[in-house]
Chains A and B, each alone.
Chain A
Amino acid sequence: MSGHHDAAPYAPVFVGETKARLEALATKYPTRQALLLPALWMVQEAHGWVSPEAVHEVATELGLTPAYVKGVLSFYTMYHQHPVGKYFIQVCTTSPCNICGAEDVMRALLEHTGCGELGATSPDGRFTVAEAECLGACGFATPLLINDDFIESVTPESVPALLARYA
Chain B
Amino acid sequence: MGYPHPIHPKETPVLSTHFGDAEARSYAGWTARGGYAALKQALGMTPEQIVDEVKASGLRGRGGAGFPTGMKWSFMPKDDGKPHYLCCNADESEPGTFKDREILRWTPHALIEGCAIGCLAIRAETAYIFIRGEYTEAYRILQAAVDEAYAHGALGADVFGSGKRLDVIVHRGAGAYICGEETALMNAIEGKRGNPRIKPPFPAVAGLFGLPTTINNVETLAAVPAIITRGGAWYAGLSLSSPKSTGTKLISVCGHVQRPGVYEITMGLPMQELIFDLCGGMRPGRTLKAVIPGGSSVPIMTPDEVADCPTDYEGIAAKGSLLGSGGMIVMDDSTDMVYQIMRLARFYAHESCAQCTNCREGTSWTVKVLDRILRGEGKPSDLDLLMDLADQMTGKTICVLSDSCATPVVSGIRKFRHEFEAYLSGARTPALAGA
A–B in direct contact per CB < 8 Å: yes
Question: Nearest B residue to A131 by beta-carbon distance?
Answer: B350
Q: How far is A137 from B256 in the complex, measured between Cα atoms in Å?
A: 15
Known contacts A41-B172, A95-B296, A136-B93: does B209 contact A31 (CB below 8 Å)? yes
B96–A96 touching, CB < 8 Å = yes
Q: Note all chain A residues with C-beta closer than 8 A to B254.
A: 96, 100, 138-139, 141
Q: Which of the residues B94, B167, B353 comes within 8 Å of A75, measured between beta carbons?
A: B353
- How many whole Å from B256's CB to the nearest CB in chain A? 6
Known contacts A77-B176, A132-B134, A138-B97: does B191 contact A37 (CB below 8 Å)? yes
A165 at the interface (CB under 8 A from B): no
A157 at the interface (CB under 8 A from B): no
B175 at the interface (CB under 8 A from A): yes
Q: Note all chain B residues with C-beta closer than 8 A to A33.
A: 190-192
In chain B between 336 and 359, which residues have their CB closer than 8 angstroms to a CB of chain A? 340, 343-344, 347, 350-351, 353
Known contacts A37-B172, A41-B174: does B134 contact A90 (CB below 8 Å)? yes
Question: Nearest A residue to B349 by beta-carbon distance?
Answer: A133
A136–B92 touching, CB < 8 Å = yes
In chain B between 163 and 190, which residues have their CB closer than 8 angstroms to a CB of chain A? 167, 169, 171-177, 188-190
Known contacts A96-B96, A98-B340, A99-B256: does B173 contact A76 (CB below 8 Å)? yes
Q: Note all chain A residues with C-beta closer than 8 A to B174.
A: 37, 40-41, 76-79
Q: How far is A111 from B2 in the complex, measured between Cα atoms in Å?
A: 35
Q: Which of the residues B136, B192, B343, B351 comes within 8 Å of A72, measured between beta carbons?
A: B192
Q: Note all chain B residues with C-beta closer than 8 A to A78.
A: 133-134, 173-175
B194–A76 touching, CB < 8 Å = yes
Q: How far is A122 from B132 in the complex, measured between Cα atoms in Å?
A: 28
Which of A132, A134, A140: most chain B Cβ within 10 A? A134
Q: Note all chain A residues with C-beta closer than 8 A to B425.
A: none
Binding site for A on B (CB under 8 A): 4, 83, 92-98, 101, 132-138, 167, 169, 171-177, 188-194, 209, 252-256, 260-262, 296, 327, 329, 331, 334-335, 340, 343-344, 347, 350-351, 353
- 4 tightest A-B contacts by CB? A36-B191, A76-B174, A78-B175, A138-B254
